[in-house]
Structure 1
């Protein structure tokens, strides 16, 4: 069993990931913007010490720094889960540029801020891993243009992941991007392919079996490698 830091556990994939891990006995440090998002039945996990809740706003650097200071233990696995789909208008021919910028701040800069803030905690772990939830929509090999702000932000975070894997390889850290599948969440919609429970179980299984040779690569929730 290990200690996982997961950003954005208030809903969707983040909540499902936390539940999978808590149910099997891992310790979870979960971030939320609003504690009201938390399921009532998680109170028991907090009382046993398996769950620690940290308030964090991915758009606020001070909030990220404060969250990191509130944690004083080793983190075995960091999961960058927080993300947004982007503005309503995000066509290459009709772009909400302020919305595009906010999407980049959350989906691309946010994960890098989180990694930098929690590097001291990862360095305390024996075999630390960093998983960033990306999307196949950001693959340069997947030539679609809908939701281009979202796609661009995920393509950019994939490059950040590659860079982190290179820079952290001497320390033995494993860093990967993960496509969670098309998931039935607020973001994915009710017509999506898989449930949050399926996606979360697959991501946890992938995390468990990652090795040094996997670092810097892009996987889907079932462990299949995808092209950047």
Structure 2
């Protein structure tokens, strides 16, 4: 089994990678920083071409789209949320996810019954609207919609797609006041990935196994 995780150099991505590395599986991680990870900037189209060439047709059984940004934290409605923040956030959180999956589709098909995981957020749900963080919320909602539709289009390939809320995690992105640790999030998410199947494809679930409202 081969697992590939984007954004694996820190936070949840790094914790998930380390767990798979301890298993009898081939675990690959990507990072914009490059070595010791596979170099990949999900906002740069040419970066995907280099990754595909590096993998050279290797079957990928589990693709975890974890790379993402939260650039509008602390922005104000009156003066913030500039156009550049929208463009950069969607390039990473939406376009980057799609191009990762699109670029590696031959590798996923080569694996047979592959799985695709998209790390979204409860902030993607239309049932949660406490205000603020407009760009992050909108980009994660778009990633959720992307995953749901990919689940439909990849069903005939036998590729299951799951979208997950990792919890409010104590990381650089989540902040120090998060509800759970990186280790709790990683352990819970890996259990969810194990459960993912064609019967549950298109699911939107939390790190601890609860179905989340869309």
Q: TM-score when scaled to structure 2? A: 0.94
SS at match of 1:85: coil
SS at match of 2:64: strand
Pair 1:178 & 2:177 matched: no
Q: Distance in 1 between matches of 2:166 and 2:90?
A: 19
Please name the residue that 1:164 is paired with. Answer: 150
Task: Note the C-alpha offset of 1:87.
Answer: 2.8
Does structure 2 retain, via aligned residues, the 8 Å contact 1:90–1:149? no
Please name the residue that 1:205 is paired with. Answer: 191
Task: Note the C-alpha offset of 1:126.
Answer: 2.5
Q: TM-score when scaled to structure 1? A: 0.89
Q: Distance in 1 between matches of 2:78 and 2:139?
A: 17
Please name the residue that 1:9 is paired with. Answer: 8
Please name the residue that 1:50 is paired with. Answer: none
Please name the residue that 1:59 is paired with. Answer: 43
Please name the residue that 1:195 is paired with. Answer: 181
Q: Distance in 2 between matches of 1:113 and 1:144?
A: 31
Q: Distance in 2 between matches of 1:92 and 1:137?
A: 18
Within 5 A, what are the aligned runs for 1:19-58? 19-35=18-34, 53-58=37-42
Task: Note the C-alpha offset of 1:35.
Answer: 3.8
Task: Note the C-alpha offset of 1:65.
Answer: 1.6
SS at match of 1:10: coil
Does structure 1 retain, via aligned residues, the 8 Å contact 2:189–2:208? yes
Q: How many residues align?
A: 212
Does structure 2 retain, via aligned residues, the 8 Å contact 1:90–1:100? no
Task: Note the C-alpha offset of 1:92.
Answer: 4.6
Q: Distance in 1 between matches of 2:130 and 2:59?
A: 40
SS at match of 1:120: helix
For residues 85-122 of structure 1, the C-alpha deviation after alignment (integer angstroms, 9 at most, x for no partner) is 12356455442221111111111111000000000000
Structure 1: 5+ residue stretches without partners: 39-52
